[in-house]
Every structure is written in C-alpha cells, then in structure tokens.
Structure 1
Amino acid sequence: MGSIHESKAAVVPAQGLPYFTPANHDSGAAKESSTASIPTIFQPLTIRNVTLKNRIVVSPMCMYSAESNPSSPALGAMSDYHLAHLGHLALKGAGLVFTEAMAVQPNGRISPNDLGLWQHDEGSESVQFKELKRVVDFAHSQGARIGVQLGHAGRKSSMAAPWLAAASGTTNLRADADVYGWPDNVVAPTGGAEMIWKRPSTENGLDGFHTPRTLSVSEIKDLVSAFAASAATAVKAGVDVLEIHAAHGYLLNQFLSPVTNRRTDEYGGSYENRTRVLRETISAVRGAIPDSVPLFLRVSGTEWLDESAVAQQVGGSWGVDSTVRLAKELQDLGVDLIDVSSGGNHETQKIKFSKTYQTAIAAQVRKELRAAGRKTLVGAVGFITEPSQAKDLVQGAEQSDDVVDVKAEAKAVEGLVSGPEPDADCVFVAREFLRDPAWVFTVAKELGVKITYPIQFARAF
C-alpha cells in the first residue's frame, strides 16, 4: 500500500501491523530545521543506536492491572488495558515510553496483579511475550521508542493493589495465598522479622508487609540469570531500551544498603560486596542484549536515613556519596544512563521534600561524573510538573526551589549562549502524564516550540 497522496504531507501507513494507522514517526518532534533555536528538551538524544526525538521520558508506573491467577496462561502479561494506557502515551509524542516494572521471577512482583517477563520456555508463544510485542509494535508505529524496566520487589512483594488496601482502611495490605500471593516466598538479602519493610500497625492486623526469608547464594545466581533472560526476551519482542530497577527499596536496592543487607558472605558487608549482585546483574544483562541496545539503571540516590537510628546501628546507609561512587563505575560495566530517584528502603526515612528534592541529587551526580571524565548520561525524576522546569533541567539554567521565576528564565536564555552544564540529560515524568497524557504537547505550547502532531490529531492544532 503506497502513500495516500504524493506530497510532503503524504500519509504513509505504519508497517508491521494488521490494521491501518498512519506512521506518526515525528509526533512530538520539533519542526525547526535548525537546532539552534530549539530548547534542549526538544532536541534529539542518541544513545548507542537509539535516537529519542525529544528528552521527555514516560517513567515506569505500576498499574496493578494484570491477570493474577497462576493457572491462567496470561499471568503477569499485558492486556488491552496496557495497550491503551501505554499506546496513547506513545501516540502523544513522548520520546521514550517505559512500561511499568516487569518482574523477572514470579515472586518478584509487587502485587499479584503486576506485570512479569519470566515465561522463556515457551519463547515467542508465551502470552507475556506476545502481549509485550503487541504494545511494542504499536508504540513503534506511532514513532515512540519503548523501554522495559526489569525488577524484583524482594521484601516488598506479595502486596495487594493500593486501592484494595484503601478499601480495607489501610495503606498497605498483604496479599496472602487465597488471593494468589506468595507469603512464604517473599525474599530479601537478609530475612527475618527485623527485616519486614513495614510492620503491622492496626489492631485488625491487616496492614504491614510479609516477613522475608534470606536468599541463598544459589538463588542469587538464579536471580542474576533471570534478569539476563528477561532482558533477552524483551529485546526479542522489539524493545528499544532496558532499565534495571535498583531503587525504591526493591531487591537490588536492598542489597546495596547496609541497613537491609546484613549478610556476611561475598554479597554483604563492604561496599564491594553489597554492590556485587548489581554488578553481576548489569554484566549479565549487558551480555544478553546486543551492543546497540541502551541500558539504563534506576537507583535511589539516597535512602534519606543519614541521621536515623537504624543507620547508626549498622554503621551507615546508602547515600549520595555511595551513588556517586557507583555512578563512576557504570560506564565500564556498559550502563548508558543512571536514572536518579530516591528513598523507599526503610520506613523511618526522612525525605526532605521540595521541588528539587530529587533533581538536585541527579545534578550532583552528573556534575561529579563529568568532573571524573565519565560520559554516563543522567536522568532526573521527581516533582517534574512544569514545562519551564523540565526545560531548565536539561538546558543548564538554575532553578529556584519553587516555581521558576523571571530571573531563572533569563538564566535559561543566557544558558543557550554560554552553555552551562545541565542538571540532567533527560527528564523522567510519571504522574504528570496521568494528569495530562498530552503533556508533551503542553510543554511544546508553553515553550513556544513548533512540533509535529499525530496525523489524526493535527486539525486540533
């Protein structure tokens, strides 16, 4: 099938789909031929063989909407819901759209309704593979790149969806075996009652998390292999970018911190030992995917436990200094971008919330990387809601702790000439896309950038 008419506005059908849709490859891309007048947020970013048309990334967001029945072949697989949810974000111009975290093992899901990517024996016949490929193919037809975040929830697994917890009058509700949970197979670097993420606090005993058990060394090796196998399956499905989830108190994050890792073997104790499983995972994933595929790593830049009693008890916690040290090692391991979030590893954390509470950490990590001559890219995430804020993070303008003001805008203009170092190379945005799925269009409008819209939507602009 050829173009509908021969002109610069020719409608070309997307390839590889069993139905017609225009190939909206430029949706969300800046129109100007010269990049000099285009804010960095709308300039392309090339990572290995993948080029993002803009620097706006849809961050992974749990939807708790997958099949939970272990007897169903669709367990942990995407559905029409995920096609609609992720597809409309791809249609509306994001440079890169991440799936929610996909568990590399069944007990790595946060809830029974989370996504997974552990069905490898069936190959391309598995429902998990087929449904992921369906979402990937649609995202590609709309010109978006799509990424998969791979993770394991560790001691924070086998929990009910948050709205089910809310209906029970609590913020955390355990998923037991009668609702397809796995209370006897919740794992951690170090197990036992002391390592429960949040203990029950209500009289009815509904809230709180499960007691984890300690992973054996052989199980740790299996975990590393599971990450690699899931990465290979994702690439086979056509995924453009992979991200390893080592943040928010999930299993790899638990290994990094002396607060949650009390092991005395080769996977615990010193910094080198606590980071060993992450380095092994990165190496295994990098070895399982083509050199052309970018690899990201999400970390908690700090646990927000610097002055906590638990950190004093064990002689420290995972903080910004640890993150910077790790970040400097990533280039040699084959990681292309470090995605800097924070918190989530201990219930006594004291997060110092502000507009820049996480983006400032990303900026510090990037500054230290460049000073050390390292080229690893940095992604900023957290409270990114304003177009000018997103622009300034990658442009190099200074930010206030609140709404960007006129002086900050002046600095942004100055930055186009003098070229100060930006705080990040791209922005990861989550909840703002839930509030405004067309946020890329909103950013372009407020920044005065002319972009290309999906052919079906163009008459509205």
Structure 2
Amino acid sequence: MSKLFSQAQFGDVTLKNRITMSPMCMYSCFDEDGKITPFHMTHYISRAAGQVGLVFTEATAVQPEGRISAQDLGIWNDAHVEGLKNLNEQIHAYDAKSGIQLGHAGRKADLESTIYAPSAIAFNENYKEPKEMTTDAIKETISAFKNGARRAKEAGFDIIELHGAHGYLINQFLSPLTNVRTDSYGGSKENRYRFLSEIIESVKTEWDGPIFVRISTDEYNENGNTLDDFYFYAKEMKKQGIDLIDCSSGGVVPAKISAYPGYQIPRCEAIKKEVSIATGAIGLITTGIQAEEILQNDRADLIFVARALLRNPYWPKQVADELGEPIEPPTQYKRGWH
C-alpha cells in the first residue's frame, strides 16, 4: 500500500488516509454574519465524498474584528455552532474527519471597523494602520480562542488548527518584523512566543482532541525569524502537546516568493527531523508521485492540498489511479470508480 493512503493517528482520531484539504478562504458568507451557507456545505462535503481523509474549513474567526474579510466564516458566538454541526455530520457521513482552523487576521483584516495588532504597523500602504493591542485586549483574544475551541467541540470537529502563519495575528506576535512591543509579549523570541503559548494552554482547557498549528516557516526577510527561531517555537509547541506543525511560509511582510513544486518542503522536513514532531507538507503538491515521495522519504506526515482540490474535488481518486492504489468510493459512485 502507498503511504499516502495509509492511516494516520493523532490521539484518538484516526485518518483513513494522509490527504488533507488545506484551509482556504472562500469569502462566501451572507450578510457579514459568519454563518455557514449552502455554498460551504457543497464545497466541503464534496471533498469528503471525494475521499479526502481530513477536511479543514477555512480560517474561522474567533472575533468579528479578526475576520480576514467581512465574508469569512466565524465562530465568535454560539449562533455559529448549528451550521458547523450540520456540516460536520455530513462530512462524517463519508468517513472523513473534520478540522477547523481558528484564526484572527490582526493587521491584515480588511474591515471597516478598527483592526488590531501587537504593534501599530500597517502591512502596506493599502492596509489600515492597526491599533496596538493592550494587555486586556490580548487577554480577551486569548479567551476568544478558548471559546472558539469550546464551540468547535460542540459542533463536532475532530481536529483544531491554530492559524499562526501568513502574517495573521499569531504570526504577527511571533515575528520581530511586526512585533516591536517592549512588554512581556515582545522583544525576545521567548516573549514573542508567549501569545501563542497562552492561546494553546487556554484552548486545552476546553478541547481534549488533537491540535495542529500552522506556521510560516520562512518570512523571506533577513530581519525576520530564522530557521533556528522556528526550531525554538516548534520545540515549545511540542512541549505543550501540539500534535502537528503545518509548514507553510510567507505573508508576514510583503515579499517576492519564488513558488515551485515542493518549495516549502525543505523547511517542513528540517523541522520534523530537528524537533521530532509530525509535520504537514503544503505548497504546489499536485501529483500522487510527488506526495508519495514526501511521505516515503519521511519529510512530512500529512499532505495538505489546496488548489489541486479546488480544481478537482475527487483528487484522491486521481492520485489513487496514478499510484495504482484501490480506493473505496461512496456507494453511489461505485459504477464509475470501479
């Protein structure tokens, strides 16, 4: 059996294969209310029917001011739970597991309201200048992640991922490029990690399932975090019981990135081997051969697929055929798949 179609275990959660639908913003909520719409139901459930092992929702905001756009999904109040619960029931009906990415955009929120960040530095000239968060605001946001985890549990999710990448709020605290605070949340890498550390501990008071963290493993700026800094963060996350680090890159400051197949894999592999922690590989992974190579060479533990799954909800079937791997379809599709 190919490794791509082997099971993966995280705590009490067993994934039937190692194909993961990466969180991708859909900007599709009606009335700026953050609630699930018919589009979301079709979008996510079709990938579960297509035999993706783990289906992640898009970045889901723990506070209204933490949305990347006004059309993003939310989990900042109890009214969001019902729609997410209905979604999970349908995902689970296809023997897939579900994940929710809890996020906060920080200074990269494109909203009419006030936006917040560790320091009052705009992303670029097209973004508003954020308001520097007070200690009380930081505590409120940490509490919002905890409440988001509680609602995620009520909604029936299997895995939580904390969004610490792509220049959003957690990433803004981690990076010296965006965090110039002089209090206990800024300065040293130990202080810059404090915000994420406290979020993890807060989430764990409400959530006893697996927790992943997505980070940007390269900030593409000589004054940003180094690979050694990411080793430090990963080791701290491991101590706190994080199950997997989802290894993306970029987004914290404007940068030109040369993207090519597998361009983020070297740092994903380096973190896995240096820290002895499970990692998720992402970044222009489009074929079964490519995914299988990453797994067989022990460069990552899960394959996160984004654009390829936008092009083809049945990408698992495509790559199963490529690898000569039998795949069990939904009963309704057997005549076409066998």
TM exceeding 0.5:
yes
1:452 equivalent among 322, 328, 331: 328
- Following TM superposition, the consecutive aligned residue runs of length 4 or more in structure 1 with deviations greater than 3 angstroms are none
Q: Distance in 1 between matches of 2:301 and 2:267?
A: 14
**Bigger shift: residues 355-364 or 101-110:** 355-364
Q: Using the TM superposition, give the Cα deviation of residue 334 of structure 1 relative to its aligned residue in structure 2, in angstroms.
A: 1.7
Q: Equivalent residue of 1:275, what SS?
A: helix
Residue identity matched to 2:142: V
Residue identity matched to 1:258: P
Tell me which residue corresponds to 1:294.
210
Answering whether residue 260 of structure 2 is matched by residue 359 of structure 1, we say: no
Tell me which residue corresponds to 2:119.
190
Q: Equivalent residue of 2:262, what SS?
A: coil
Q: Distance in 2 between matches of 1:350 and 1:92?
A: 34
Residue identity matched to 1:227: F
Residue identity matched to 1:281: I
Q: Using the TM superposition, give the Cα deviation of residue 322 of structure 1 relative to its aligned residue in structure 2, in angstroms.
A: 1.2
List aligned pairs for 1:234-253, cutoff 5 A: 234-253=152-171
List aligned pairs for 1:44-193, cutoff 5 A: 44-69=7-32, 75-120=33-78, 126=79, 128-158=80-110, 175=111, 181-182=112-113, 185-191=114-120
Q: Using the TM superposition, give the Cα deviation of residue 353 of structure 1 relative to its aligned residue in structure 2, in angstroms.
A: 2.8
Q: Distance in 1 between matches of 2:55 and 2:289?
A: 21
Q: Deviations over 1:73-92 (max 9, x none)?
A: xx101111100000100111
Answering whether residue 267 of structure 2 is matched by residue 345 of structure 1, we say: no
Q: Using the TM superposition, give the Cα deviation of residue 234 of structure 1 relative to its aligned residue in structure 2, in angstroms.
A: 0.5
Q: Equivalent residue of 1:283, what SS?
A: helix
Q: Distance in 2 between matches of 1:364 and 1:243?
A: 21
Residue identity matched to 2:269: A
1:273 equivalent among 179, 191, 200: 191
Q: Equivalent residue of 2:205, what SS?
A: helix
Residue identity matched to 1:353: A
Q: Distance in 2 between matches of 1:353 and 1:460?
A: 35
The number of residues matched between the two structures is 337
List aligned pairs for 1:355-434, cutoff 5 A: 355-370=261-276, 376-396=277-297, 422-434=298-310
Q: Distance in 1 between matches of 2:46 and 2:196?
A: 33
Q: Distance in 1 between matches of 2:226 and 2:56?
A: 26
Q: Distance in 1 between matches of 2:318 and 2:331?
A: 17
Residue identity matched to 2:282: V
Q: Using the TM superposition, give the Cα deviation of residue 450 of structure 1 relative to its aligned residue in structure 2, in angstroms.
A: 0.8
Tell me which residue corresponds to 1:171.
none
Q: Distance in 2 between matches of 1:454 and 1:356?
A: 31
Q: Equivalent residue of 1:98, what SS?
A: strand
Q: Distance in 2 between matches of 1:352 and 1:275?
A: 28
Bigger radius of gyration among the two = 1
Q: TM (normalized to structure 2)?
A: 0.98
List aligned pairs for 1:201-212, cutoff 5 A: 208-212=126-130
Q: Using the TM superposition, give the Cα deviation of residue 210 of structure 1 relative to its aligned residue in structure 2, in angstroms.
A: 1.1
CA contact (8 A) 1:154 1:187 kept: yes
2:148 equivalent among 230, 250, 253: 230
Tell me which residue corresponds to 2:131.
213
Residue identity matched to 1:447: L
Q: Using the TM superposition, give the Cα deviation of residue 356 of structure 1 relative to its aligned residue in structure 2, in angstroms.
A: 2.5
Tell me which residue corresponds to 1:328.
235
Q: Deviations over 1:125-151 (max 9, x none)?
A: x2x111000100000111110000000
Identity %: 43
Q: Equivalent residue of 1:276, what SS?
A: helix
Q: TM (normalized to structure 1)?
A: 0.72
Q: Equivalent residue of 1:229, what SS?
A: helix
Answering whether residue 318 of structure 2 is matched by residue 442 of structure 1, we say: yes
Q: Equivalent residue of 2:246, what SS?
A: strand
Query: What 5-or-longer segments of structure 2 have no aligned partner?
Result: none
RMSD, matched Cα: 1.0
Q: Using the TM superposition, give the Cα deviation of residue 387 of structure 1 relative to its aligned residue in structure 2, in angstroms.
A: 1.1
